[in-house]
A and B are shown apart, each in its own frame.
Chain A
Amino acid sequence: MKRHFLFFLCLALLCSCQGNHNDGNAKSDFKSDSNLEKEIVILSVNDMHSSIDMFPKFAALVDSLRNVYPDMLVFSAGDNRTGNPVNDQYNPVNFPMISLMNKVGFDLSAVGNHEWDAGTDNLQQNIKQADFPFVCANVTQKDGLNLDIKPYVMLENQGVKIAVVGMIEVRHDGIPGAHPSNLTQVSFKKAIDAMPEYQYLREQCDVMIVLSHLGFEDDVEVAQATPYLDVILGGHTHTLVEFPTEHNGVLVTQAGSHLKYATLTKIKVKDGKVTGKEAITLDVKAFRKSDKEVKAMVDGFNDSPTLNESIGKALTKFDNPEELGCFMTDAIREVSGADFAFQNTGGVRVNYLKAGPITVKDIYTIDPFGNEIVVFEMTGQQVKNFIVDTYRKNGGYPSYVSGMTYEMQTNGKLSAYVTTNSGRFSTKETYKVAMNSYMASTVRFESLDDGQSQYMTSEEMMIEFLRRHKTVDYQGIRRTK
């Protein structure tokens, strides 16, 4: 923190005397003398995750820095969206974030795994709206898909040529962490395998950067394998690299998440060669200034009718949490394609919902936690054991359920008597079972596989379910005893 404080102190001093040297001519004077050492300055953020409320501070910080570094570039290392319904449920989805990134003057964005969360059509819409390009070199689009994603860009800053290659994380199953249904028209290659295809750029540029959505450990792995890079500006794992250091001669950075931090990277170049590089972490949330125009934009987005939009109708009122829990689990089961869905009782935060229109805001009031849904494969016996485990964990209250009804029985030993919607249930049969990530990580249970996140939250599934069905009626529904 001392270092952050010192930086802002220096920044304030530099800003206070900027009139002496930064009158607009400084930029061109600097450019005109090719023998001078040039300093390339990049402000990078990553994993903003729809943090629109941080933008007034961030915009003011960018302005202050531009007073000192008029040629400063601003990059995002991906995952600009997902994390705030104001942005993620907006029509069109992600319009607020792209608008704010345009306003602040972003120069470039990597494609993160969450850029795919609203499908390829929405991503294309975002790319068109953006005043800056998106880069990702290890994605291949299938015929007919024409997302304007560039593998790299060649920027020129103060006469210095900067190649910036984009990379996205690829999991063990060959795709990034996004719902597979959003990735049917694209395929991916591991960064470590894709990088050699771009080594030729080293000969064409003075500075070579990877704008990475790989995660810190993978960034270090790439640095070990590709020492010809100068810098990796990273994202994905929400790692706060407080004191960025070089790995195999490559400077690797990452600035936490949600715009709380940013990384200021300086690269010195003389006669086409990098002569020095360093990066410091800036504490954006501690910055005291706020940009009024950007604040007005953010206020406008927060006041938009998006959250009050009716997405369906309750034909009758919801009178108790179990009715809401049944609605919730039906949504989770249907949207995830599972046989059964479970929801912990503590995850339903209201007891009552009136009949009539249901808004996006209502959904986020019922369930404000943003837990992603996970699907496991279980035998029927494991499902029965899971019901008992959750019952115990929940202090003797049964979890809400969809796809079955069950009754807790004590005949010397606690067990669950299950009746499925289909009428058939076998302890030896394999079932797909959906639950939120909180249940998946806090209840001890056995399953046939490790489980797979659906990369959709329970709120998003309820919204999807309501949009499909238009009306719901859960009055008097009881599924557990």
Chain B
Amino acid sequence: MNRRTVRRVKSNVMVGIMMAAVIVAVLPLLFILASLLLRGASSLSLAFFTHLPAPAGESGGGVLHAIVGTLIIVGMASLAGIPIGAGAGVYCAEYPGSRLSLVTRFVSDVMNGTPSIVVGVFAWTIIVAPQHHYSALAGSAALAILMIPMVMRTTEELLKLVPNSLREAALALGYARWRTTLSVMLRTALPGIVTGTLLAIARIAGETAPLLFTALGNQYLSFRPNAPMAALPLVVFTYSIGPYEEWHRFAWAAALVLILVVLVLSIAARFATRQRFGATRD
């Protein structure tokens, strides 16, 4: 009897420890969000979104150049990364047993864990060094490389969820294989793929390391892809390691904007998947 009680108590204690672990694990998120709101929100104003940074020493100014820069750099990365990632994902879902799809799947899992700084060094070596100048294009190339494996995995996973009967029905109706894949299989899986792609975009939008020696950042509004360009994560980094109190406030506000973009994208994407999945299964 006694031994049984001991065992039950032990079980409950372990469960209690695990509940404590949950609390400890959730705390940092709340702590970080609270700090961002407390320190960043007071510096946010309309001008923060519509103005360029004020010269050092003056207060005020905004991050318009970095918002535009992030949009352009991430946009160009998506233009290159999404077709390649999605194409490779479709290949692996369509020809799952082939040797190439085994290799591609494994390599993209491995690439998913490649440090982004290493990809930055790669982009610097093949684009910045030969051109002798920093450029947004090089930054986009690095981000595209980080994005491809993520998009590839999402596309493949979601295509595998589409019931095979849909494919068979389309083929039986005389659709060519490529049309079956594009207008039946991909079409059905599209909402989920869009969601996964949004998550990938959210992740690369927050990347700093690969932009450090590719896009570099600047203080002006620039639309030229082949020249240095500002980006939100770079602004957060530059201003947070600067010596001025005013800069730190600026960094907190920029970080708040960055995190709002990233969190809104990821939360929206997750909710979208859940609803749309229900719809496709009905």
Q: Is the A/B pair a real complex?
A: no
Binding site for B on A (CB under 8 A): none
| B interface, CB within 8 angstroms of A | none
